Amino acid sequence: MQYREYGNTGIKLSALGFGCMRFPTDENRRIKEDESIEMLKYAYEHGVNIFDSAAVYNGGDSERVLGKAVKEMDRSKIYISTKNHYKGPDAGEWRRTLEGSLERLDIDYIDFYHMHDLRLNQFIEGIIVKGGPLQEALKAKEEGLIRHLCFSSHDDPENVKKMINTGYFEGILVQYNILDRAYEDVIAHARQKGLGVLVMGPVGGGRLAAPSEQIQKLIPGGAKTSAEAALRFVLANENVTTALSGMSSMQMVVENIETASRTEPLSEDEKRHMAEMLEQVRKLAELYCTGCGYCMPCPNGVDIPANFRAMIYYKVYGLKDYAKSEYRRLKNRKVNGEPKPASADVCVECGQCEAKCPQNIPIIKQLKEVAEVLGA
């Protein structure tokens, strides 16, 4: 297993972290406890030393299962990360959420405690108010209940940078993968500021686990699976500390550990090759749609950017099964319980969208293609 410095903390984390949001579940969506604990133990025994959960995952059961697994590990050799979703001004409510996590995990302290999915406006209006959650967090840190204060976010990249610049946080958790590179500059900025960087969704929330020759060929010499290529792409970024992967089977755990344990990093030539390939992919995708949204709203309810995004997954990335599932979701969309399809096949060819497209994309023609290919 590779290990990397987590910011300026002096802590070394495994390149692969265990994300505890996707434990295997039964038909009633209850976590399969024994199977999940076995996976966690295997990861620990093979070098994974960071495990990430959240108060809201599986209604708190994710933390409970992780807590049981931790009892069979050397606590001094692992790091627990979890998250507090409360973002209002009530310090007491924030503290109760923290205490709930400590109780479910059955531990005395949390190593990396994240403010969950934090937005800049929430930070300003709730977190940093006088006597609010930030002061409570600093107090909890003094008490030894949390070791390092961090945050996760899906906010605009520039807003994430502003929160990094406040100096209150020691680490961030953001989404980053081959398909989602919006936070690449944020990750570099965080590293430059001395923060540790955890990455969520390195395999694109499962999208990149599907077989795709195009994805596998992004790695010079190819990769055995799309998931391997996706994980190696994230770990090739020297500003990333750890890729947190949500794993729902022992096979995923074994394969991801094998990938994260490769001692030979991508060479500079290989990184350059990958960057050139990704730039070509980006240009191909933008030929189909740039995602600007100027074509919307459609008077007949077609979600034009979403349909084209599904087609990009199909044609550019080779994620054919995922693209078709996305199209089915658009076709079966409901609003307030009523069928409101947003798929390409409900287009009536009114032409309003084409008049608004700054790229002069032949939208009607491409929507027909989407319906024919993905609706087949």
User: At 144, which CATH number?
Assistant: 3.20.20.100
Given this model, what pLDDT does residue 359 score? 81
Exposure on the CB side of residue 217, measured as CA atoms within 13 A = 10
Q: Are residues 189 and 82 in the same domain?
A: yes
Please tell me the pTM assigned to this model.
Answer: 0.80
Residue 201 has pLDDT above 70, yes or no: yes
Q: Are residues 168 and 86 in the same domain?
A: yes
Q: Are residues 124 and 247 in the same domain?
A: yes
**189 within a domain of the structure (yes/no):** yes
Q: Are residues 258 and 296 in the same domain?
A: no
Q: Are residues 235 and 142 in the same domain?
A: yes
Given this model, what pLDDT does residue 274 score? 72
Band (181; pLDDT cuts 50, 70, 90): confident
Termini Cα distance of the chain: 44
Contact present, 74 and 44 (Cβ < 8 Å): no
Q: What average pLDDT does range 293-305 have in this prediction?
A: 93
The backbone torsions φ and ψ at residue 292, rounded to the nearest 5 degrees and listed phi first, read: -70, -25
Contact present, 161 and 128 (Cβ < 8 Å): no
Q: How many domains does the chain have?
A: 2
Q: How far is CA 80 from CA 13, 48, 114, 252, 352, in A?
A: 11, 11, 11, 21, 52
Q: Are residues 101 and 201 in the same domain?
A: yes
Residue 218 has pLDDT above 80, yes or no: no
Q: Are residues 221 and 335 in the same domain?
A: no
Q: Letter for the amino acid at 316?
A: V
Chain position carrying tokens 């994309």: 361
**272 within a domain of the structure (yes/no):** no
Question: How far apart (Å, rounded) are the C-alpha atoms in residues 203 and 302?
Answer: 28
Given this model, what pLDDT does residue 114 score? 98
Q: What angle do helix axes 61-70 and 33-45 make, rounded to 10 degrees? A: 50
Residue 271 has pLDDT above 90, yes or no: no
Given this model, what pLDDT does residue 287 score? 67
Given this model, what pLDDT does residue 284 score? 66
Buried b / exposed e along 256-286 (16+ C-beta atoms within 10 A): bbebbeeeeebeeebbebbeeeeeebeeebe
**280 within a domain of the structure (yes/no):** no
Per the model's pLDDT, the better-predicted residue between 179 and 152 turns out to be: 152
Q: Is 196 helix (H, G, I), strand (E, B) or coil?
A: strand
Q: Name the token pair of 260.
A: 């994260």
- Report the range of poorest mean pLDDT among 28-42, 161-175, 248-262: 248-262
Question: How many residues in the chain?
Answer: 376
Q: Are residues 51 and 102 in the same domain?
A: yes
Buried b / exposed e along 14-36 (16+ C-beta atoms within 10 A): bbbbbbbbbbeeeeeeebebebb
Give the range of the structural domain holding residue 91, as residue numbers without chain letter.
Answer: 3-264
Buried b / exposed e along 163-196 (16+ C-beta atoms within 10 A): bbeeebbbbbbbbbbbbbeebeebbebbbeeebb
Q: ω into residue 341 within 30 of 0, thus cis?
A: no
**130 within a domain of the structure (yes/no):** yes
Q: Are residues 188 and 61 in the same domain?
A: yes
Q: Are residues 232 and 337 in the same domain?
A: no
**269 within a domain of the structure (yes/no):** no
Q: Name the token pair of 345.
A: 């096949």
Q: Are residues 123 and 227 in the same domain?
A: yes
Q: Are residues 77 and 36 in the same domain?
A: yes
Chain position carrying tokens 């390409």: 344
Residue 205 has pLDDT above 80, yes or no: no
- Report the range of poorest mean pLDDT among 141-145, 163-167, 361-365: 361-365
Strands (E), the chain: 3-5, 12-14, 16-19, 50-52, 79-84, 110-115, 146-152, 171-175, 196-200, 242-246, 334-335, 338-339
Question: How far apart (Å, rounded) are the C-alpha atoms in residues 242 and 253?
Answer: 15
Q: Is 197 helix (H, G, I), strand (E, B) or coil?
A: strand
Band (78; pLDDT cuts 50, 70, 90): very high
Cα R_g (the chain), whole angstroms: 22
**283 within a domain of the structure (yes/no):** no
Question: How far apart (Å, rounded) are the C-alpha atoms in residues 333 and 337?
Answer: 9
> Average per-residue pLDDT in the chain?
91
Question: How far apart (Å, rounded) are the C-alpha atoms in residues 313 and 33?
Answer: 34
**124 within a domain of the structure (yes/no):** yes
Given this model, what pLDDT does residue 313 score? 84
Residue 219 has pLDDT above 90, yes or no: no
Given this model, what pLDDT does residue 220 score? 67
Per the model's pLDDT, the better-predicted residue between 321 and 280 turns out to be: 321
Q: What average pLDDT does range 274-297 have in this prediction?
A: 77
Contact present, 22 and 247 (Cβ < 8 Å): yes
**270 within a domain of the structure (yes/no):** no
Given this model, what pLDDT does residue 293 score? 87
Highest mean pLDDT among 138-142, 254-258, 267-271: 138-142
- Report the range of poorest mean pLDDT among 112-126, 187-201, 313-327: 313-327
Residue 245, classified by CB atoms within 10 Å of its CB into exposed (0-12), middle (13-18) or buried (19+), is buried
